[in-house]
Amino acid sequence: MIRESSQRSLRPFGLMLILLAQAATVAAQIPDKLPPEPAYLGEIRRLPDGQLKTVAADAKLAAAAVKPATMVVGPGEKITTITEAARLAQDGEVIEIRPGNYYGQPAIWAKNEIIIRGVGGRPVMLADGKSAEGKAIWVVRGGKVTIQNIEFRGARVPDLNGAGIRFEKGELTIQSCAFFDNEMGILTANLPELSLEVIDSEFGDAPRHSGDLHHLLYVGGIGKFVLRGSRFHNGYLGHLVKSRARESHILYNMLVDGASGRASYELEFPNGGLAYVIGNAIGQSAGTDNPTIVAYGAEGRRWPDNALFMAHNTLINDNYSGKFLNVFSDKIGADVEVWLLNNLMVGNGDLNKPAQGRFDGNRLVARGDLIEFGGVPLRLTNMSPLRGAVRPPGQARGVELMPSAEFRFPVGSRPMRPNSMLAPGAFQ
């Protein structure tokens, strides 16, 4: 009886053990449903002002965690004027400007790693009689700065060199901008550590002030200047483009003054330097103020290394006579290397063979031999005997002289791959 009673009392306990074992087996087969371990972003620290801040564990996490701040400027926004936006801007910020006309709002941009861009329609900066520091609509001296899709008009200052932009420090990139009716479109300082790149932008309509020289783009003695896919027209007494840079790359632009233009030189390098002029259309009007289209070395040497490489340009002279290129050997030195390769000349003028360098593939044609675009003779006909008449120009100082793009109307450039029927000039 005692044994039977003990067995009866142990039966529920044994059943419980069996059920627990089965539950453990089932649980072992169920995947882990716990949330993943959170990524370690760093430590939380209290700043001197009492605010809490996450300090990232390493530089990579820090870079990923920080996104550029964006400031929006314009009518109806918290910040309504360009002057205030420049005062409040911080390093690394993106400043977006709403469409519209901004009258008399000069600005000094002094921060680093900033992007200033017009959003929507292109906003227009109108000087309206005001300037920053008596210099320009905008003064830029902030380190690395990019300006996109902004128009500048009407810069005037007592010194008669009021610029749309005065560039004084760092690296500046101008993209898809426009400069009209300024005493200088862009004017730079003379510091070799500066670099300027102008892409897909338009410059025109120099003020008509007798006796004053207003250049559409005036680059001082900076380290490097790149001009690409941009258009220049309607100058007056000053030059379309003037560069004193140690190194200048003039690529796939339209530097054609137009019927009403009265510019002096269309392109000038007064102090020499290394100049690469590739794939441009460069032309002077019948009423030009100077019969030379491209000038090199007129004011003597500034830099220790000087050479001019011109390849696959279309040079147009609408004047009764002139010079497609004038190298001032008496000023810059007769030992300067000059390469003139596969350039196409239209109209009357001289392209003198250099004393030192290469001279090959340059051709002179009549205006009627070219197809016109916007009233400018640019492209050889498909049946032209000059197609396939020249050889690839090769490289100079490691820079490819064969154009990889061509100017695209009304402004900009497009990729281009010349075929085996290589022709002289900027357009294949």
Residue extents of the structural domains in the chain: 68-415
Helix residue spans in 73-222 (DSSP H) = 82-88
Tally the C-alpha atoms within 13 A of residue 403's C-alpha that lie toward its C-beta. Answer: 35
Please, what's the largest Cα pairwise distance for the chain? 137
C-alpha closest to that of 169 among 195, 149, 206: 195
Task: Give dist(CA 325, CA 36) in Å, integer.
Answer: 71
Q: Which residues of the chain have pLDDT under 50?
A: 1-10, 12-21, 23-28, 30-32, 40, 46, 48-49, 60-61, 63-65
Task: Give dist(CA 330, CA 112) in Å, integer.
Answer: 43
Question: Two tokens at 201?
Answer: 């932008």
DSSP 229: S
C-alpha closest to that of 308 among 349, 330, 339: 339
Supply the pLDDT for residue 58: 53
Supply the pLDDT for residue 7: 47
Supply the pLDDT for residue 31: 47
The torsion angles phi and psi of 381, rounded to 5 degrees, stand at: -70, 160
Q: Which residue has the tokens 């137009």?
A: 258
Supply the pLDDT for residue 419: 86
pTM of structure: 0.85
The torsion angles phi and psi of 84, rounded to 5 degrees, stand at: -65, -40
Q: Which residue has the tokens 């371990």?
A: 37
Supply the pLDDT for residue 414: 97
The number of residues making up the chain comes to 428
Options 3.40.1410.10, 2.60.120.10, 2.160.20.10, 3.40.109.10; CATH of 68-415: 2.160.20.10
Find out whether 240 and 214 touch, Cβ atoms under 8 Å.
Answer: no
C-alpha closest to that of 146 among 205, 87, 78, 195: 195
